[in-house]
Structure 1
Amino acid sequence: MRLGYFSMPLHPLGRTWRETLTEDRDAVILADRLGFHDAFIGEHLTDRHENITSSLLFLATLISDTEQIRLATGTTNLSHQHPVLVAAHSAMFDHLAGGRFILGVSPGALPSDAEVLGILAEDRNQIFAEAIDVITAIWESEPPYGIDLPGNRFAVTTESTMDLELGVGVLPKPLQVPRPEIVGTVVAPYSKGVIAMGQRDFHPLSANFLLGQWVATHWPNYVQGKEAAGASADVADWRIARTIFVADDPKVAESYGRADVGSPYRFYYSQMLTKMRKIGRLGLFKSDRDQPDDEITLDYVLDRLVITGTPESVAEQILAFRAETGDFGELVYAGLDWVEPRLARRSMELMAQKVMPAVNAAIGTR
């Protein structure tokens, strides 16, 4: 099982933007040095806590400061820009990064982002579906393209302006052939979107804020999609994100990872719980769809969604989680604010150097 990194990221108010951007970069650089396979970075335009506005721009600053880690948008919000821009900028990034690029995609979920862009009343899921078809079509075709898919708002052509002798009218292609890996985040139980991912050979990343029982519903749907396309699903392509804190001392693990009022894990899930309650998606945290809303407290969420403890304890919790979901190819470590940089760094070190070797040894034995 591979080890990946994902950060939304989510910072408390009162810190400068430059400070949090530097910290977020330091986390990816550390992940690279520790051998993490990839790093997914999220983006929002209008969130003071999740304050990376362009994951691609942020990741570009890391190309020369990392060596092996694959740099992934986590995600590029496809309702926010024309798919030609996504295809062209992603292709250039892939060349700059020497092929270490993964395109993570989603519709873009934050309503205030949609409002500021004037698309709040639009079907952003539909825009997403149309955009991804155009992006892949651009990478698969040659100029003048002539991309005019039925029912798709994005028609792409350079027919009237193309001049191959001058080199104009030609969109760039990625370094990776036939294209970079495309990853979609899965945030709903029994997601139908993951069926479409399987049909298109995109790879799923199950969100860290879903209970294990709901994460387990993703893989059968992905298999269904792959089979519909006449292909076989490979568990190596399934990523699952988890919120994890590892410490040498079990008391520190419980305090920093869950109980203390200043815990970044407590802050993260307080924010997530408030947001999901406000937009009517509290069901993501429920063990039963009929569970009363008032049972979904912060402590309830923390107890079920934060894996914390010593390396030995965390390894056992991950193995128990895997028994619930079934096998998967990559465990994606969720990065949070570094309230205590020493503890945050140590957690990533222990995760890479002790927890994952123990997990993989146990998987090999079983």
Structure 2
Amino acid sequence: MAGTKLRFGAFIAPFHPLGDNPTLALERDIELIQHMDRLGYEEAWIGEHHSAGYELIASPELFIATVAERTKNIRLGTGVSSLPYHHPLMLADRINQLDHITRGRVMFGVGPGALPSDAFMMGIPVSAQRDRMDESLDVIVALLRGETVTKHTDWFVCNEARLQMTPYSRPSVEICVASQVSPTGAYAAGRHGAGLLSIGATNAGGFNALSSNWAIAEDKAKEAGKTMDRGAWRLVGPVHIAETREQARADVRFGLDKWLYYFREVAALPLAPDDGTDPVDALIASGMAVIGTPDDAIAQVERLQAQSGGFGAFLCMDHNWAEWDKKKKSYEMLARYVAPKFQGLNENRDESLGWASTNRPRFMGEAMMAVGARVAAHIQDKGTENIRPEILEAMGLGKKE
């Protein structure tokens, strides 16, 4: 019997350094998801950002609508829609439309907004973002289930708001709440029985908070009469693999420093020490990133399973550490050599091989007996003139010259 199937996918913010043609960068993001679809990846999550120059996708809904036409099976999520930036009725209506257009392949990831610079440009106080996310999510969850909502807040009004179309997915499109270190996402996920999207699962803080955040989500779900599903829990971490550790390390020299610059100077997340230490060594030693072989990626997923107690999908935090062809090769190797380990894809093959090997003497003996019977019948009918000497020798009817 095949084991539980852990899903694999990507969390695509994306991160494109300056100097790159932004039009071509977006096209490569589309091509990446097409590549993933062909390789059998189950999920891709697309971000929403409006400033700072690296994370170029402003509308995950537009991106998903485009890539849905160019793929067949992969599910596509907003990773994530920043709820304080949108009127909840308008956003719910767009997601519901995507649910119909994609025939249920869309997923709805939500969060308060990651970049303070985005909120500043819209006049949204950073201190209000999480409260506004909660207020919006309450409305959107109800709307996506086909309910009618009236709600007045200090930043939006809904008067008998409802969606025109019955949701394609029942009871609604799948909803997942972003979570890092703080319990904010876990509270929101638990209140609605939604999935959890642990974006910083391999950071020291995020890794250490995995089990506690899940426990918080379960407690909140119980209070609200909901249940949490570990299969709807996604963990995110950066990965680049190659045939050897040395090759993987050489590959990431192409773009790792630019990625680290963005987090150190703009996003203010010191992912690797800026003290002269080799950043590759630091990222590997901290457990933050996999830069190595398929075996290293397998070890990382097993480490996350042990820490979390079990989850439903591992998402590669997409980056441009390596050149395009080597990046695609990394995704291919993960699909070929890592995913099968956690999806039970080769369990029956392994059992079949072992069974055939164990019973080989019996099978070969029966095969030889069957061949011998046919040869004996031929000799009886036609004689030995056209029989090869080694066959006669095997049957004990002559010697090989």
Is the counterpart of residue 57 in structure 1 residue 62 in structure 2?
A: yes
1:164 matched to which residue of 2? none
Is the counterpart of residue 300 in structure 1 residue 282 in structure 2?
A: yes
1:241-292: CA deviation from partner (whole Å, max 9, x where unpaired): 11111111221112324xx3x3x34432332233354xxx66xx69xxxxx9
Report how many aligned residue pairs link the two structures.
Answer: 338
* Correspondence for 1:323 among 306, 313, 319: 306
Is the counterpart of residue 175 in structure 1 residue 168 in structure 2?
A: yes
Is the counterpart of residue 356 in structure 1 residue 339 in structure 2?
A: yes
User: Which letter does structure 1 place at the counterpart of 2:150?
Assistant: I
* DSSP 3-state at the match of 2:113: coil
1:17-56: CA deviation from partner (whole Å, max 9, x where unpaired): 1110011101111111111111101111112111111111
Aligned-pair CA distance for 1:174: 2.6
User: Which letter does structure 2 place at the counterpart of 1:179?
Assistant: S
1:148 matched to which residue of 2? 151
* Correspondence for 2:209 among 192, 210, 214: 214
1:230 matched to which residue of 2? 225
For the 8 Å contact 2:178–2:185, the answer to whether it is kept is no
* Correspondence for 2:187 among 195, 217, 220: 195
Unaligned runs of 5+ in 1: 160-168, 287-291
2: CA distance, partners of 1:88 / 1:137 = 12
2: CA distance, partners of 1:314 / 1:14 = 30
For the 8 Å contact 2:93–2:163, the answer to whether it is kept is no
User: Which letter does structure 2 place at the counterpart of 1:171?
Assistant: Q
* DSSP 3-state at the match of 1:255: helix
2: CA distance, partners of 1:111 / 1:67 = 36
1: CA distance, partners of 2:111 / 2:126 = 17
Aligned-pair CA distance for 1:297: 9.1
User: Which letter does structure 2 place at the counterpart of 1:206?
Assistant: S
Once superposed, what is the RMSD of the aligned Cα atoms? 2.9
* Correspondence for 2:329 among 309, 330, 346: 346
Aligned-pair CA distance for 1:315: 1.2
1: CA distance, partners of 2:15 / 2:72 = 26
Q: Percentage identity across aligned positions? A: 28
Instruction: Identify which range, 338-347 or 22-31, moves more after superposition.
Output: 338-347
Change (3 A) 1:276 1:137: same
User: Which letter does structure 1 place at the counterpart of 2:42?
Assistant: H
Aligned-pair CA distance for 1:295: 11
Instruction: Identify which range, 334-343 or 82-91, moves more after superposition.
Output: 334-343
* DSSP 3-state at the match of 2:314: strand
Is the counterpart of residue 66 in structure 1 residue 67 in structure 2?
A: no
1: CA distance, partners of 2:186 / 2:127 = 22
Change (3 A) 1:111 1:302: farther
1: CA distance, partners of 2:149 / 2:241 = 52
**Higher helix proportion:** 2
Unaligned runs of 5+ in 2: 1-5, 351-401
* DSSP 3-state at the match of 1:12: coil
User: Which letter does structure 2 place at the counterpart of 1:240?
Assistant: L
1:211-245: CA deviation from partner (whole Å, max 9, x where unpaired): 22233332222222222233443321211011111
Aligned-pair CA distance for 1:8: 0.7
For the 8 Å contact 2:139–2:149, the answer to whether it is kept is no
* Correspondence for 1:29 among 28, 34, 38: 34
Change (3 A) 1:303 1:177: same
| Structure with bigger gyration radius | 2
User: Which letter does structure 1 place at the counterpart of 2:246?
Assistant: K
What's the TM-score once normalised by structure 2's chain length?
A: 0.76
2: CA distance, partners of 1:308 / 1:327 = 23
1:312 matched to which residue of 2? 295
2:179 matched to which residue of 1? 186
